[in-house]
A and B are shown apart, each in its own frame.
Chain A
Amino acid sequence: EPEVTQTPSHQVTQMGQEVILRCVPISNHLYFYWYRQILGQKVEFLVSFYNNEISEKSEIFDDQFSVERPDGSNFTLKIRSTKLEDSAMYFCASSEGGTVNTEAFFGQGTRLTVV
């Protein structure tokens, strides 16, 4: 069964450093998402991406964050200058036809620890 895969599974970085979290969505999917979950809190939407551009973003997704689909298979989340409060589990997801009409499939997550 096709899966969304994320690398790395765990990333430790120093405050102020840039990190790139990588995701390979399911191959025929057209919509891509990033969510995050700070320990003990709810899963929060960061951004959605469709047709090579951001379709929606939350207030969390400020200028420090960016997303890219550099080739036909990868979808990346970049945090330019990490802060301690960026420590969280980051989930990538993809769907074939959008969240309402088709299932969003989630990756297993990348745990980001900022020290």
Chain B
Amino acid sequence: AQRVTQPEKLLSVFKGAPVELKCNYSYSGSPELFWYVQYSRQRLQLLLRHISRESIKGFTADLNKGETSFHLKKPFAQEEDSAMYYCALTNFGNEKLTFGTGTRLTIIP
């Protein structure tokens, strides 16, 4: 069974400090991992995906198959990064996205 764990429900970080949002997964095959973000009063939207290996809004995420992790990082937090962040997983041949419970990130000015 697929499972995504985000251990932190809430995370507060000062502006300019580094951010790390943790995500661990369990899946026996080759997963594809994503980070989705939901800003206040906006819809859920894709932030980045492992398969494209890009940096979006200064965020990066590295898939560590040994630790089954896909942590989201940003070196210097900005106030506009305050949002709900969801880690999600799927795999080839499968349309279902499995989400974690989400982490609410608050950037303190």
User: What is the interface of chain A, defined by CB distance below 8 A to chain B?
Assistant: 3-4, 31, 33, 35, 41-45, 48, 50, 55-56, 58, 91, 98-101, 103-109
Most buried by A among B95, B96, B99, B102: B95
Distance in angstroms from B54 CB to nearest chain A CB is 12
Distance in angstroms from A77 CB to nearest chain B CB is 16
Nearest residue (CB) in B for A107 is B43
A19 to B96, CA, bound (A): 24
Judge if B101 is at the interface, Cβ distance under 8 Å: yes
Q: Which 6 A-B pairs have the closest CB atoms?
A: A48-B95, A43-B99, A106-B44, A45-B96, A42-B101, A108-B43
Q: A48-B96, A104-B46 are in contact. List 7 more A-B contacts (CB 8 A).
A: A4-B43, A31-B95, A42-B100, A43-B102, A45-B96, A56-B95, A101-B51
A101 to B51, CA, bound (A): 8
User: What is the interface of chain B, defined by CB distance below 8 A to chain A?
Assistant: 32, 42-46, 49, 51, 86, 90-92, 94-102
Q: Would you call A42 and B102 a contact (CB within 8 A)? A: yes
Q: Would you call A100 and B43 a contact (CB within 8 A)? A: no
A54 to B24, CA, bound (A): 30
- Residue from the list B46, B90, B95, B100 in contact with A103, Cβ < 8 A: B46
Q: Would you call B43 and A99 a contact (CB within 8 A)? A: no
Distance in angstroms from B56 CB to nearest chain A CB is 12
